[in-house]
Amino acid sequence: MPYVTIKMLEGRSNEQKKALAEKVTAVVAETTGAPLDRIHVMIEDMPKTNHAIGGKLSSEQ
C-alpha cells in the first residue's frame, strides 16, 4: 500500500489539491500496479513563514 507525501507552500485551492491527488494516484497505480483504493496521498501545506530560501523567508519574497 503506497504512501505519498507532498509538501508544498500554502496557497493552492482545494480544486488544485484534488487534481494533484488524482494525478499522483493514477501515476502510482500505473507504475506500481497498486489498486487505486490502496494508494494514500498526503498533502502538507507549509506556511510561508516556516520556509526560507537563501536565508529569506518565503513570506517576505
Active-site amino acid positions = 2
Three cell numbers written together for 6: 507532498
Three cell numbers written together for 55: 536565508
The rounded average pLDDT for each run of 10 residues, N- to C-terminus, in the chain (61 residues) is: 97 98 98 98 97 95 85
Three cell numbers written together for 3: 504512501
In the prediction, which pLDDT does 61 show? Answer: 85
Q: How many residues does the chain have?
A: 61
Checking phi first, is residue 55 left (phi over 0); if not, alpha (psi -120 to 50) or beta? left
Q: Domain 3-60, what fold? A: Macrophage Migration Inhibitory Factor (3.30.429)
